[in-house]
Chain A
């Protein structure tokens, strides 16, 4: 079989991707958060994670992404609701759990931080692989996959005034605000600000982000094009 026959290198053209259906699918999908049993078990878990984070910051800037979480946790399914005591002791966490922990960590460091929901484009082949890895089938489809689009979570941190950066706690990188679509590209974002009575708009690169609502990201053009 030749590579060409299998369309091995084919990537969907994002110009023709309409994220509306995906947004509709995840319109009422809540951002993940870590629950607390109200018992010492969760106190221990929470104190450990936050104290360990400060230690591992190693005199770095509070705006440094907490990459250590991914050294501790593999990426994989989490059982929800997830409590602090469970989160601390798990071996694997999903993107929602990693994002929620990261957001708690940033807040504990004194950084203004918000949960972020994202819709990424990958490929149907990637989606198929994830379905297999997460033991999904037709009877139990993965809730975070819609064809070649996926639901993902991260967290935003305010770097100055209303300017934010978006931390992908699973990939352990800052998501590029300039998006060209394609494999791994971000098509839509929702920043959750449940702290402010009247949340103001945020600025993510060239994007003006209105909190608490999904918005499609305009595809960037190259500067010299």
Chain B
């Protein structure tokens, strides 16, 4: 018996070839085992269980047609072939569309049903698929997915590689890197699931399962790879539907279903790998030699019975002699300033992926989007649109501007959009107000102090929230009365001498020292405020603001300090954390946790909390979308925890300002390469869009012929800002429509919040 086994890479993310060989050697001591590898850098070629080696050139050099024929000859001669590489299996499925009795790899039809992340074949198994979206979506929608999942997301390559992307700038950088490595824009984002990792591994021949095991990872490497595990029987409620699926797929070969079990015991399927896992010999140690069972089924030659040694296995690092015929290759020279290391894919798997793409051999199906709104069971739909939706009011407001003579870059106030937003916010607050508890909005002046927005806030019944006395004066100048102003933040007394003489609505102390200063100032009659309270520092999310409660000592100091506050003023608590940064679900958890801290403070100080001021940093879509029910629940929860609360102040922040302004800029120059627009220079820059690193902007371009405004789709063009700064790239991966030329106007929407207020003068002489 002769068995060819590929996938001998044995680095920190190993392939299964060596494990398969070890298991087969136990079952068939006299078999000739041939190791197949595509790089002499893969250390598995030196493993002693291989009687022979068939070392190929790396995939980028291989003549695939000739190689395919050579494999056919090997198989026709009676040898078996077990692949240890996903991509090799996919390629072989194309070379042998009707299969081959000695080829122990899955058929093309089966492979199409296991493409990640949707893994269509999973239906019937007691698993769920974590929410995912394709990076075909617009940046706007990808950002929304990240917020929705608290930035606990993985950006994954089509076959290998997965990187946690905890912020927008990281996501953009990793996307660029993975797209380059795998020569595709078709990556996907998937929600992280916390829990313990476990796998089901099986072997099958022509649709019949030969054996299966369950393995729980008991030790992990830093890359999340198995280092130790326990191997047990697969529960029948999983095994029965899996056998049925394997039959339907007419599966041959090994397979590993990688899953996470969450705290409630729910299994989430991450991947279905079309091969044995690298830990496969662990199953053999436990007494279930899956490769041998498969070979036995394929050949009818009885394998020696596996002896169960122990159902737990672990790995050790072993040094083995290098085969004399295959001396170690030289180590690539480190780049200047870099750290030397072996190549990640020595056999050239990315090159194979690219070649298979070109041959359309591995086009995946059913991998659209499954964005958490469904039951997470892989019922994704393939949405081919990759342009963001732009509200019609944006376009209507743009009609008020004449762009022909407009100097650019130029800020555009979207008047009706802004008015509608404030009107809606006022309506929501009114609808949540009850006789016992008034809900009111406050406009955070720092978000954008543009007088038109401040005036809209005033006219819409907002309070004004200021972080300096200059901001207080600005609010007053627009029409706010001091009793409509909330003073907040660590620098609220700056500059001196500008404090209004009449009472403010509320003052929130940012530190114990600040609290003592407020108390002293009130005692002297210098400061008057209807509400005096404290800002709490979020204990679970790093923040420099507010009074900390991180230790029992901190908490005790806070409790004692609150006792100093004048009894004749109303007591309130404020907290703030940008939901766009921490994610929507985590923000609501923070809200709930803050209510608990407030209840504790109320209980320990004996002071009723009558005012709760909640800051949000809300991304507009999250606030104006379908959050009304959540707001109603939030108000009810506040009343549950704090029965004495009479006023809830909501600071929607950038939810108001961000959509209210756009930035018009002109194309200065278009740079083409190989017929495609790769880069275009614009007269805008990160000086006008400093939030570019934190959020995408929807970009509109007016069709010169029809006058219609159309959003830019995802593409391959980078829009370079006018500044001579390396990082001045105002948009990545957009598609400039045909016909765009120098002088054309692009409108960057969603720039009315911190883009506007934090924009700076740079490069203007």
User: A interface vs B, CB < 8 Å?
Assistant: 40, 43-45, 47-52, 54-64, 88-89, 159-160, 178, 180, 222-225
Q: B231 to chain A: which residues have CB within 8 Å? A: 223-224
Q: Which residues 129-184 of B have a CB within 8 angstroms of A?
A: 150
Q: A54 to chain B: which residues have CB within 8 Å? A: 592-593, 596
Q: B265 to chain A: which residues have CB within 8 Å? A: 159-160
Chain B interfacial residues counted at CB < 8 A = 40
Q: B263 to chain A: which residues have CB within 8 Å? A: 60-64
Q: List 23 A-B contacts (CB under 8 A).
A: A43-B603, A44-B604, A47-B555, A47-B604, A48-B555, A51-B549, A51-B600, A54-B593, A59-B150, A59-B589, A61-B262, A63-B264, A64-B263, A88-B552, A89-B553, A159-B265, A160-B265, A222-B310, A222-B311, A223-B233, A224-B231, A224-B287, A224-B306
Contact between B604 and A57, CB atoms less than 8 A apart: no
Partner of B287, one of A51, A56, A159, A225: A225
Interface string of B575-618 (1 = CB under 8 A from A): 00000000001101110110011001001100000000000000
Contact between A40 and B604, CB atoms less than 8 A apart: yes
Contact between A47 and B287, CB atoms less than 8 A apart: no
State whether A222 and B287 are in contact (beta carbons under 8 Å apart), knowing that A59-B586, A64-B194 are contacts in the complex. yes
Q: B194 to chain A: which residues have CB within 8 Å? A: 60-61, 64
User: B interface vs A, CB < 8 Å?
Assistant: 150, 194, 213, 230-233, 262-265, 286-288, 306, 308, 310-312, 538-540, 549, 552-553, 555-556, 559, 585-586, 588-590, 592-593, 596-597, 600, 603-604
Q: B589 to chain A: which residues have CB within 8 Å? A: 57-59
CB distance from B117 to the nearest CB of A (A): 22
Q: A43 to chain B: which residues have CB within 8 Å? A: 603-604
**Which 9 pairs show the lowest CB-CB distances between chains A and B?**
A224-B287, A222-B311, A61-B263, A59-B589, A47-B600, A88-B552, A63-B263, A225-B308, A55-B593
Contact between B552 and A55, CB atoms less than 8 A apart: no
Pick from A45, A54, A60, A88 the residue with the most CB of B within 10 Å: A54
- Per the bound structure, the CA–CA distance linking A223 and B559 in Å amounts to 57
Q: A52 to chain B: which residues have CB within 8 Å? A: 539, 549
State whether A58 and B540 are in contact (beta carbons under 8 Å apart), knowing that A45-B552, A47-B600 are contacts in the complex. yes
Partner of B311, one of A47, A58, A62, A225: A225
- Per the bound structure, the CA–CA distance linking A42 and B213 in Å amounts to 51
State whether A44 and B559 are in contact (beta carbons under 8 Å apart), knowing that A60-B263, A159-B265 are contacts in the complex. yes
- Per the bound structure, the CA–CA distance linking A110 and B310 in Å amounts to 39
CB distance from B602 to the nearest CB of A (A): 10
Contact between A48 and B287, CB atoms less than 8 A apart: no
- Per the bound structure, the CA–CA distance linking A44 and B603 in Å amounts to 9
Contact between B555 and A56, CB atoms less than 8 A apart: no
Partner of A223, one of B232, B264, B603: B232
- Per the bound structure, the CA–CA distance linking A58 and B585 in Å amounts to 9
Contact between B233 and A48, CB atoms less than 8 A apart: no
Q: A159 to chain B: which residues have CB within 8 Å? A: 264-265
Contact between B600 and A48, CB atoms less than 8 A apart: yes
Q: A178 to chain B: which residues have CB within 8 Å? A: 230, 232
Contact between A224 and B311, CB atoms less than 8 A apart: yes
Q: A45 to chain B: which residues have CB within 8 Å? A: 552
Q: A88 to chain B: which residues have CB within 8 Å? A: 552
Q: B596 to chain A: which residues have CB within 8 Å? A: 50-51, 54-55
**Which residue on chain A has the smallest CB distance to residue B262?**
A61
